[in-house]
């Protein structure tokens, strides 16, 4: 009888301890990611981006430059032949497609799950509100896997990889199974950046779509 009671008690303790350990691990992962992101008030980088279909076929290769500034400001420029400009001043987002001669203007959605660029430029204190976070450590590389808690997120999962404390690459999987891999190069933390970079001047003669 006593042995049975002891076994039941041990089993109950194990069941209670498992979620507590998981919560502790997630809190640790969130704290580490918050620390890495918070130390950079501004970031500049070049990037190369590859988009793969759900069956692994290469759909698109692009390159470009990125400038971000906390809180919520970024300029993401994709080079020709698929040139685009994505600009935010923290309140408004402009998406400019010079081939279509079209600018889409919309109010910034501050939810980190709606604009991946906000992970690098937004309010990192809300990470745990937006995501379930897991961390894998291997030498000088830290990999964070973020799963959105919201059902209307732009992506199903997001992996952020840091090498020696600096953002190295990002991988996103969307609801239809496509994957986007982004490799950052020539990354600079906390350089001086011109605030005018985060305002888009709409060229004459382009169509403007407001959302």
With beta carbons less than 8 A apart as the criterion, state whether 146 and 39 touch. no
Q: Looking at the predicted structure, is the pLDDT value of residue 18 above 90?
A: no
Token digits for 67?
Answer: 């400038």
Q: What is the CATH number of the domain that holds 36?
A: 2.50.20.10
Give mean pLDDT, residues 53-64: 86
Burial class (CB in 10 A: 0-12, 13-18, 19+), 144: buried
140-156: pLDDT as tens digits? 999 999 988 877 777 88
Sequence-ordered list of residues with C-beta below 8 angstroms from that of 14, at least 6 positions apart, any chain: none
87-144: pLDDT as tens digits? 999 889 999 999 999 999 988 876 655 566 777 877 777 778 888 899 998 889 999 9
Question: Residue 85 is part of which domain span?
Answer: 2-210
With beta carbons less than 8 A apart as the criterion, state whether 31 and 23 touch. no
Extended strands (E) in the chain: 42-52, 58-69, 73-78, 84-89, 92-97, 102-107, 131-138, 141-148, 157-163, 166-173, 179-189, 207-210
Give the pLDDT score at 83.
94
User: Which residue bears the tokens 């992101």?
Assistant: 37
Count structural domains, the chain: 1
């Amino acid at each position: 009888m006593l042995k049975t009671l002891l076994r039941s008690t041990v089993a109950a303790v194990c069941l209670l301890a498992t979620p507590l350990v998981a919560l502790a691990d997630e809190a640790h992962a969130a704290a580490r990611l918050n620390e890495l992101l918070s130390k950079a008030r501004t970031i500049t980088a070049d990037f190369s981006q590859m988009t793969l279909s759900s069956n692994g076929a290469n759909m698109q290769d692009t390159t470009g430059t990125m400038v971000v500034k906390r809180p919520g400001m970024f300029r993401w420029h994709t080079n020709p032949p698929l040139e685009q400009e994505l600009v935010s001043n923290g309140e408004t987002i402009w998406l400019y497609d010079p081939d279509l001669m079209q600018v889409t203007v919309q109010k910034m959605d501050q939810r980190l799950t709606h604009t991946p660029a906000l992970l690098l430029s937004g309010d990192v204190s809300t990470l745990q509100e937006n995501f379930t976070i897991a961390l894998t450590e291997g030498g000088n590389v830290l990999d964070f896997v973020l799963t959105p808690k919201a059902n209307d997120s732009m992506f199903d999962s997001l992996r952020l990889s840091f090498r020696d404390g600096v953002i190295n690459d990002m991988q996103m999987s969307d609801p239809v199974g496509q994957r986007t891999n982004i490799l950052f190069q020539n990354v600079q933390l906390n350089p001086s950046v011109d605030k005018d970079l985060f305002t888009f001047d709409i060229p004459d003669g382009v169509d403007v779509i407001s959302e």
